[in-house]
Amino acid sequence: MSSLTETSGSAYSDSPDPIKEAGKEDSATLSNESPWYHLRKEATTFVSQTLQRGRRNLWHLTASRVSVLLSSAAVCTASIHQFLKNYEELSVFILTGEAFCGIEAVEFRQKLKAVCENYFTAFHRQNVHVSDL
């Protein structure tokens, strides 16, 4: 058993410590003069910009699909309770989307405003018609 320990011990003592070697490489790559530092920085910037564009694209795609749903006639026939619940959820959706991609959802807010105006016009028209009967 002692010969095994001696053999194992000597084998590990002759090879360089991988953790120390990694530390040496990291200190070399973190130096501002290192080409690896510049390459890593450029790659990180590129990936960050690509993800940012992807977030915006995903937000625009999602918002446009929800906007199509808001164009449905079923929106104006919902009960006032359901409409207000939908409005509250859409407000949270907008805030989440804006935080997700970092841009304001101006077009989607305008669409939601128009849907609200149409709903309340239809709601009041229906209630005035009912009260006339």
- Of 20-24, 47-51, 59-63, 109-113, the least confident: 20-24
Question: Cβ distance 107 to 73 under 8 Å?
Answer: no
Tell me the two tokens of residue 72.
Answer: 């449905």
3-state secondary structure of 32: coil
Of 25-34, 58-67, 102-111, 124-133, minimum mean pLDDT range: 25-34
Predicted local distance difference test score (pLDDT) of residue 26 = 52
